[in-house]
Amino acid sequence: MSIKKAVVLFVLFVFAASFAFSAGQAEETPDEPTLVRFVEVGWLDIEATTAMTRLVLESLGYETTSDVVSVPVAYQALASGDADVFLGNWMPSMASISDPYTEEGTVETVTDNLQGAKYTLAVPQYVHDAGVTSVADLADHEEEFGGEIYGIEAGNDGNLLIQQMIDEDAFGLGGWELVESSEAGMLSEVGSRTRNDQWIVFLGWEPHPMNTVYDIDYLADADDYFGPDYGAATVYTNVRAGYTEEAPNIGRFLENLQFNLDMENKLMSMIDGGMSGEDAAREWLQENPAVLDEWLDGVNAVDGSNGLATVRAALGID
């Protein structure tokens, strides 16, 4: 081969290699983030679903963190980019807090993750049997209730709705007091009162172990505040703006992620019984692995391998 021909071939080779490299660069997408930052709000149901979601993501090779904050702070964190995912958007009761962020586009809704929930005022069954079946019955028994309605943490949407009822003197509750505490603090009071057959009205919801630990019933006619059908609720997954475009693999997983009442009640009972959220999630998934088929459809592990196979192996599922 002549020197001239060799030079020409070399130049053509370099040009072709450069073109291929440039084409590859043009098609390459930035790496997805491998750290997923959750916020949760100190409720047992959101603790359970967040623990389950984190376990699956960590089994895929992601790192996760979670901060327990109030509902308003959760949305501030998403809007400012300090958090990525919130699994606890209870609607419609949380609309007054979440809607401003979703309407301005700083927080996005991925999908619903739970249907069939409820969220409204509740009383012990013996109080319900005594004739307090509606929020309209409360004022007639102010003395028995001590003029108090027990809520959870300050700033919570349910507390805001209760306070609105009081401020508007709805159902004659204008002189009543909202007692703000925490989920654990409120339920401790429920437990103390029910052991002594004392009266109490409090913020209740399902899924939650309170529905099996205590014999309770929900009050009718608060539709204008908590929504129809005893505050029938749907829970949505929220993310910071642009997150699913930045992390499409995680976005696909979050789109697939669906819970149900039986699952959450079981998980919450396990955690309430002393198990960590991670241990409860691991045990439940090992006993109910079929749910992973739907959750991980089209989802890859961080290293690009099949997500379903990777998670099953990580969790010791045959």
- Please write the tens of the pLDDT for every residue from 143-190: 999 999 999 999 888 999 999 999 999 999 999 999 999 999 999 999
- Is residue 250 within 8 A of residue 32, CB to CB? The reply is yes
pLDDT at 23 over 70: no
Mean per-residue pLDDT for 74-95? 96
Mean per-residue pLDDT for 35-41? 97
Q: What is the pLDDT of residues 100-151, one digit of tens each?
A: 999 999 999 999 999 999 999 999 999 999 999 999 999 999 999 999 999 9
How far is residue 284's CA from residue 19's CA, in Å, rounded to a whole number?
Answer: 52
Q: In the CATH scheme, what is the code of domain 35-115+233-314? A: 3.40.190.10
Residue 119 main-chain phi, psi, to 5 deg: -160, 105
Is 290 exposed, middle or buried, given 0-12, 13-18 or 19+ CB atoms closer than 10 A? Answer: exposed
What class has domain 118-231? alpha beta
Q: Within 10 Å of residue 74's Cβ, how many Cβ atoms?
A: 27
Q: What is the pLDDT of residues 227-237, one digit of tens each?
A: 999 999 999 99
How far is residue 249's CA from residue 244's CA, in Å, rounded to a whole number?
Answer: 8
How far is residue 26's CA from residue 22's CA, in Å, rounded to a whole number?
Answer: 6
Boundaries of every domain in the chain: 35-115+233-314, 118-231
Q: What are the structure tokens assigned to 7, written together?
A: 């030079």
